[in-house]
Amino acid sequence: MSCFPCCKSEVESPSFRGCSKKVSKGRRTFKSLAAAMSLKTGSSRHRQITEEILKYGTAKNDVKIFTYQELIDATNNFSSDCLVGEGGFGNVYKGYMKSIEQNVAVKTLNREGNQGTREFFAEVLMLSMVNHPNLVKLLGYCVEDDHRVLVYEYMANGSLENHLLDLDKDKEPLDWETRMKIADGAARGLEYLHNSADPPVIFRDFKSSNILLDENFNAKLSDFGLAKIAPKEGENLVTTRVMGTYGYCSPEYAATGKLTSKTDIYSFGVVFLEIITGRRVIDTAREPEERNLIDWAQPMFKDRTKFTQMADPLLKEKFPQKGLFQALAVAAMCLQEDYETRPDMDDVVEALEQITVKKSEEKDKAGESSKSSKTAGHAESFRSQKSVGTERA
């Protein structure tokens, strides 16, 4: 899926200029850094990366430098047999890296692509500073001549998009329990970035192709090239260009460039709705009124009798009705237009915990769904609710 560099052209506001003057050590953008790094070579560049990491926070990962020859060896000279995906950044290959004795995913920067050197270094810096089971691990990188390559842990089940929206005919669709497990893992990854990472991070490109799945369908977030260090309390972060992916981007960010952690919460709501419905957020192959998932879902959120119709037909009605209602309520809360009324990520994690725990603890009885009016109320009050943080689904 393509990345759109601007859903609205350059947004530059007085608050941006005011803010940039006050930018403190560790709160800078990556722009000047990336430009400077492009001019450096070999070990001096690596030293600079290490120094920059220390300015932003502390390095939490031992990110290695690989030679280009090692990558050629690992991927059988970037053979098409090893190609596992293609994104806006470039191609992704599966390989085996002898020096660390493990399978890896090798992502090559396509210099003609939309995303570039800034994203490359942002990815290296961000992934050096974070460490969580629900974030993909960057094992190393290669900067040699014109080559820019990132090396990650290999995720055996590819992306959520592969399993949910681009499902091969011979593959089984994800069952309800696995879907909730994936949502829970992805939510924990975001929650870590917002609340525990130091400094806190806004992910900015949360979408199903950036949620990778290991052999046990544990979810890990990938692609930090667009991630931003979150503004301090009271500071405003207005980006000069609105970056993200069409459909997943929150309305206020698309309109004004004002970036807060609530932008990620909206994107989480979009992905969670994709998980529940099996529908892509923008699907031009559908009837006009169904092409935009959010527009399609809005009236249905207000009508409890429509909730079961929203579930992915590939689930073949194998889901707990109460769990479905609760999941829809969480999605509706995250998708509220007024960004201040969206829940925080820790609220979402707690709500999802209840959905997954309840699912395994009790066999959902058909009659129970009618009692879950509190949950239904959440969905019905979509876009009007003022306080959502205290009531749980």
Written as one string, the DSSP assignment of 54-80 is HHHS---S--EE--HHHHHHHTTTT-G
316: tokens are 């073949």
Site map (CB under 5 A) of Mg ion, residues 195-214, x = contact? ---------------x----
In single-letter form, the type of residue at position 75 comes to T
First-to-last CA distance in the chain? 32
Whether a cis peptide bond, with omega within 30° of 0, leads into 199 is yes
Number of neighbouring beta carbons within 10 Å of residue 85: 17
- Minimum distance from residue 105 beta carbon to ligand ATP (Å): 3
**5 binds, options ligand ATP, Mg ion, none, Cβ within 5 to 8 A by partner type:** none
Taking the C-alpha atoms of residue 249 and residue 204, their distance in angstroms, rounded to an integer, is: 8
**154 binds, options ligand ATP, Mg ion, none, Cβ within 5 to 8 A by partner type:** ligand ATP
Query: Which residue is nearest to ligand ATP, using beta carbons?
Result: 87
- Minimum distance from residue 141 beta carbon to ligand ATP (Å): 13
Is 161 a binding residue for Mg ion by CB under 5 A? The answer is: no
Q: Based on CB atoms, which residue is closest to ligand ATP, 56 or 154?
A: 154
Which residues make Cβ contacts (< 8 Å) with residue 62, sequence separation at least 6? none
Q: Based on CB atoms, which residue is closest to ligand ATP, 87 or 320?
A: 87
Among the listed residues 184, 205, 264, 347, the single catalytic one is 205
Taking the C-alpha atoms of residue 200 and residue 99, their distance in angstroms, rounded to an integer, is: 33
Q: Based on CB atoms, which residue is closest to ligand ATP, 105 or 122?
A: 105
Q: How many residues bind Mg ion (CB under 5 A)?
A: 3
- Minimum distance from residue 336 beta carbon to ligand ATP (Å): 25
- Minimum distance from residue 351 beta carbon to ligand ATP (Å): 26
Is 223 a binding residue for Mg ion by CB under 5 A? The answer is: yes
Residue numbers at the binding site for ligand ATP (CB under 6 A): 1, 3, 84-89, 92, 105, 107, 136, 152, 154-155, 158-159, 161-162, 209-210, 212, 222-223, 245
Q: Based on CB atoms, which residue is closest to ligand ATP, 92 or 300?
A: 92
Taking the C-alpha atoms of residue 181 and residue 352, their distance in angstroms, rounded to an integer, is: 9
Nearest to 348 by CA among 185, 143, 216, 234: 185
Q: Which stretch, 60-68, 223-231, 244-252, 272-280, contacts Mg ion (CB under 5 A)?
A: 223-231
Which helix (H) or strand (E) segment holds residue 47: the answer is: helix 42-56
Query: Which residue is nearest to Mg ion, using beta carbons?
Result: 223
Taking the C-alpha atoms of residue 164 and residue 276, their distance in angstroms, rounded to an integer, is: 10
Is 70 a binding residue for Mg ion by CB under 5 A? The answer is: no
Which residues make Cβ contacts (< 8 Å) with residue 217, sequence separation at least 6? 157, 174, 178, 181, 182
**Contact by Cβ (8 Å): 163, 171:** yes
Q: Based on CB atoms, which residue is closest to ligand ATP, 82 or 393?
A: 82
- Minimum distance from residue 248 beta carbon to ligand ATP (Å): 10
Site map (CB under 5 A) of Mg ion, residues 303-342, x = contact? ----------------------------------------
Largest CA distance in the chain: 67
CA 380 to each of CA 172, 206, 385: distance values in angstroms, whole numbers, following the listed order: 33, 25, 9
Q: Based on CB atoms, which residue is closest to ligand ATP, 57 or 95?
A: 95
**230 binds, options Mg ion, ligand ATP, none, Cβ within 5 to 8 A by partner type:** none
- Catalytic residue at 205? yes
Residues annotated as catalytic (active site), given as ranges: 205
Summarize as ranges the residues that interact with Mg ion (CB under 5 A).
87, 210, 223
